[in-house]
A and B are shown apart, each in its own frame.
Chain A
Amino acid sequence: MAAFSPLTDPSIGPSLRSRGPFADPDYTPEFGSDSISESKILVIGAGGLGCEILKNLVLSGFRDIHVIDMDTIDVSNLNRQFLFRKEDVGRSKAIAASEFVMRRIRRGVRITPYFGKIQDKPKEYYRGFTLVICGLDSVEARRWINATLVDLAAEGDIVPMVDGGTEGFRGQTRVIIPTISSCYECSLDLLPTKRTFPVCTIANTPRLPEHCIEWAHQLLWPKNFPQRKFDADLEQHVDWIYDQALFRANEFGIEGVTRSLTLGVVKNIVPAIASTNAIIAASCCNEAFKFVTSCNPVLDNYMMYSGDQSVYSYSFCLEKKPDCPVCGSLAQDLTVPRFFTLQELLDLVAEKPKFQLKAPSVATSDRNLYLRFPEQLETLTRPNLELKLIDLISESEELLITDRSLPLSLKLRVRFTGDSERPKDSGNLSLIR
């Protein structure tokens, strides 16, 4: 078999060889071809979207692909997650998908799977990618990877993120160039909140099958099994909810309580549509292809697709939010003497005309160093103020400072300098840069 070459490949060759009218002025076919061969792409999620994305990337000439997914294959995935077979049920999605693509789609590509959470990997791991594509169903994971990429961008390494999402017949694609265009957190307030029902309606006046299921799930379960946490992955638990909901529905003359609706409500899932996944994954991979090769401009920066009432699509630009907690204030470097206490750091920051803090609270990613309020936490954390900073945090660890006078937060990366012993006559802070 002849070696694969992007420029002569019948499917992607033409897009690389002919200059688009809006292509980058410096674009040459060789540049596009080399860029695609040398790029290293990370795919997060190997589920419905992930399977499509992996297949598309490989067919578009990408050769070095990494994929992360913490899930294992369930029998209900097989209808649309086409890289998996019956005998794969129970195996890691990331591993099974990688093997399938390397075996069946194109030899010579390298797909590196990781079976686990994105949070397991250190920030450094993400620095090495040309681009990240997300096909996730979790807001939490998206927020995490977004914050990580913004952090890397603040240090000078921009790794763009293409984010795809689907829900039933709807979907969206979004291109995020961290610190340059609007980030995921910028538009968080626009996300639809989970569909919920008033507890009193559930308790007294159910009208919908969902009301009956929520009644069994939210109210009856904790009452009957106060010691046992409900687990939507356990069949007996879901069956119990289904039986109780059905009984209540009959009592109130409500139709439509089924086992699959029960599962959908307790797991908060919208049925996945294979064709929506295919459309959104295609769009994500187009954006990745254009970004990496620079053969044509990328999406600026949001595309929504709706297939539930005929077909509708629209693209627009989400603006950066000036007070975005993630990209609105990038971590700033501050150098302080080794003998500084936490109190001295706070005084220094408060005095800087740039910040003008009144009552700052400060934490690391996992410890609260000093909180101004509530009273109990103020009392508990106050002793830290007298401690040496160097004993509280490690060099370059990020500090999060919040303050009433800040519209958002302030992130500092503290570096230490000089002696750890306080000089005899040092009341003055003039040493500090």
Chain B
Amino acid sequence: MALTSITFHELHHKMLALKKKREQQQLNGGNSNTSARVISGAQIRVQKDVTELELPPTIELQFDNPNDLLHFTVTIKPADGLYKGGVFPFSCEISEDYPIKPPKFLCIPKIYHPNIDLEGNVCLNILREDWKPILSLTSILLGLQILFLEPNPNDPLNKEAATELARDRHKFSTLVKRSMLGGYVGEVRYDQVLRR
């Protein structure tokens, strides 16, 4: 209700009526819990987002503490593409400012990927500059999966990998296979990420 449609007089009456109702409730034996914490808007949003995720079987979530929905591991197991057969866990951290701020993702193993650097930083537009509060966790997780199906040489975080992908897709594919086995590409030794 807009305040223009309500005079002060009415507002004060309304406030008084509510107060009376509450006193009545207390008389009737109801009591309010004085110590209970208030459920925050962030908590509601996270609970909705997490319990209503719609994920393909190639994406799994793992929580260390079932009472903490703000920290978890997401594992992507691509069923297709150059990274097929790999298992890619990411740590996820949702801040108390969610959904104003996007969640933070880091790839845990060291992998050879044009859009992921050796420290695990991910270049995905909706994780940073294109994040909007109306987006949900589902959209980010699907976005992460797409990075494995369609690595993008135009937004490089691992420059060597991006150059290789743009130049010779076949050779790039061989290097991806080698890196996933735990082998060297150039100077860097990557982590073994093949599904056992």
Interface residues, chain A, with chain B CB atoms under 8 Å away: 24-26, 122-124, 139-140, 143-144, 146-148, 151, 153, 155-158, 175, 177, 180-181, 185, 188-189, 191, 193-194, 196-200, 203-204, 218-219, 222-223, 226, 294, 297-298, 300-301, 317, 319-320, 325-326, 333, 361, 363-368, 371-374, 376-377, 380-381, 394-398, 400, 402, 404, 408-409, 411, 413, 415
List 28 A-B pairs, Cβ < 8 Å. Answer: A24-B7, A25-B7, A122-B34, A123-B37, A139-B100, A147-B41, A156-B23, A175-B3, A185-B41, A188-B133, A193-B101, A196-B128, A197-B129, A198-B129, A199-B121, A199-B128, A204-B156, A297-B3, A301-B2, A366-B37, A373-B50, A374-B55, A381-B66, A395-B31, A397-B33, A400-B44, A409-B44, A413-B33
Question: Which residues of the partner chain B approach A219 to less than 8 Å between Cβ atoms?
Answer: 117, 119, 121
- In the complex, A413 Cα to B53 Cα: how many Å? 27
- Looking at B22, B62, B100, the one whose CB has the most chain A CB atoms below 10 A away is B100
Taking A175-B3, A200-B157 as known contacts, 15 extra A-B pairs with beta carbons closer than 8 A to each other, sorted by chain A number, are: A25-B9, A140-B42, A151-B38, A155-B32, A157-B18, A181-B1, A200-B155, A219-B117, A298-B3, A326-B41, A371-B47, A400-B39, A402-B48, A402-B52, A404-B52
Q: Which of B1-18 contact A (CB under 8 A)?
A: 1-4, 6-9, 11-12, 14-15, 18
Number of B interface residues in the complex (CB < 8 A):
72
Q: How far is the CB of B152 from chain A (nearest CB, A)?
A: 9
Q: Which residue of B lies closest to A179 (CB)?
A: B18
- In the complex, A218 Cα to B40 Cα: how many Å? 29
The answer to whether A333 touches B61 (Cβ under 8 A) is no
Interface residue? B122 (CB, 8 A): yes
The answer to whether B51 touches A361 (Cβ under 8 A) is yes
Given contacts A181-B3, A396-B36, contact A371 B156 (CB under 8 A): no
Question: Which residues of the partner chain B approach A320 to less than 8 Å between Cβ atoms?
Answer: 1
- In the complex, A372 Cα to B30 Cα: how many Å? 31
Q: Which residue of A lies closest to B55 (CB)?
A: A374
Given contacts A139-B97, A193-B101, contact A123 B50 (CB under 8 A): no
The 6 closest A-B pairs by CB, nearest first: A156-B22, A396-B33, A300-B3, A365-B37, A24-B8, A156-B18
Q: Which residue of B lies closest to A219 (CB)?
A: B121
Question: Which residues of the partner chain A approach B41 to less than 8 Å between Cβ atoms?
Answer: 143, 146-147, 185, 188, 325-326
Q: How far is the CB of A294 from chain B (nearest CB, A)?
A: 5
Interface residue? B167 (CB, 8 A): no
Q: How far is the CB of B30 from chain A (nearest CB, A)?
A: 7
The answer to whether B122 touches A199 (Cβ under 8 A) is yes
Q: Which of B1, B30, B131, B156 contacts A200 (CB 8 A)?
A: B156
- Looking at B1, B18, B36, B99, the one whose CB has the most chain A CB atoms below 10 A away is B36
Q: How far is the CB of B149 from chain A (nearest CB, A)?
A: 18
The answer to whether B31 touches A396 (Cβ under 8 A) is yes
Q: Which of B131-178 contact A (CB under 8 A)?
A: 131-134, 155-157, 159
Q: Which of A148, A198, A402 contacts B155 (CB 8 A)?
A: A198
The answer to whether B36 touches A365 (Cβ under 8 A) is yes
- In the complex, A372 Cα to B36 Cα: how many Å? 24
Interface residue? B115 (CB, 8 A): yes
Q: Which residue of A lies closest to B4 (CB)?
A: A300
The answer to whether A376 touches B61 (Cβ under 8 A) is yes
- Looking at B39, B52, B129, the one whose CB has the most chain A CB atoms below 10 A away is B39
Q: How far is the CB of A387 from chain B (nearest CB, A)?
A: 15
The answer to whether A203 touches B117 (Cβ under 8 A) is yes
Q: What is the interface of chain B mostly: helix, strand, loop, or mixed? A: loop
The answer to whether A395 touches B33 (Cβ under 8 A) is yes
Question: Which residues of the partner chain B approach A317 to less than 8 Å between Cβ atoms?
Answer: 2-4
- Looking at B7, B8, B20, B32, the one whose CB has the most chain A CB atoms below 10 A away is B8
- In the complex, A139 Cα to B33 Cα: how many Å? 26
Q: How far is the CB of B104 from chain A (nearest CB, A)?
A: 10
Interface residue? B21 (CB, 8 A): yes
- In the complex, A396 Cα to B37 Cα: how many Å? 11
The answer to whether A411 touches B1 (Cβ under 8 A) is no
Q: Which of B1, B38, B61 contacts A144 (CB 8 A)?
A: B38
Question: Which residues of the partner chain B approach A402 to less than 8 Å between Cβ atoms?
Answer: 44, 47-48, 51-52
Q: Which residue of A lies closest to B96 (CB)?
A: A140
Interface residue? B82 (CB, 8 A): no
The answer to whether B50 touches A371 (Cβ under 8 A) is yes
Question: Which residues of the partner chain A approach B129 to less than 8 Å between Cβ atoms?
Answer: 196-198
Question: Which residues of the partner chain B approach A301 to less than 8 Å between Cβ atoms?
Answer: 2-3
The answer to whether A180 touches B121 (Cβ under 8 A) is no
Q: Which of B57-92 contact A (CB under 8 A)?
A: 60-63, 66-67, 69
Q: How far is the CB of B98 from chain A (nearest CB, A)?
A: 10
Question: Which residues of the partner chain A approach B11 to less than 8 Å between Cβ atoms?
Answer: 177, 180
Q: How far is the CB of B147 from chain A (nearest CB, A)?
A: 12
Q: How far is the CB of A132 from chain B (nearest CB, A)?
A: 14
The answer to whether B3 touches A397 (Cβ under 8 A) is no
Q: How far is the CB of A174 from chain B (nearest CB, A)?
A: 12
The answer to whether B43 touches A374 (Cβ under 8 A) is no
Q: How far is the CB of B46 from chain A (nearest CB, A)?
A: 10
Q: How far is the CB of A242 from chain B (nearest CB, A)?
A: 21
Q: Which residue of A lies closest to B30 (CB)?
A: A415
- In the complex, A376 Cα to B15 Cα: how many Å? 46
The answer to whether B42 touches A374 (Cβ under 8 A) is no
Question: Which residues of the partner chain B approach A158 to less than 8 Å between Cβ atoms?
Answer: 14-15, 18
Interface residue? B189 (CB, 8 A): no
The answer to whether B36 touches A294 (Cβ under 8 A) is no
The answer to whether B123 touches A198 (Cβ under 8 A) is yes
Q: Which residue of A lies closest to B19 (CB)?
A: A156
- Looking at B14, B18, B41, B63, the one whose CB has the most chain A CB atoms below 10 A away is B41
Question: Which residues of the partner chain A approach B21 to less than 8 Å between Cβ atoms?
Answer: 156
Q: How far is the CB of B124 from chain A (nearest CB, A)?
A: 8
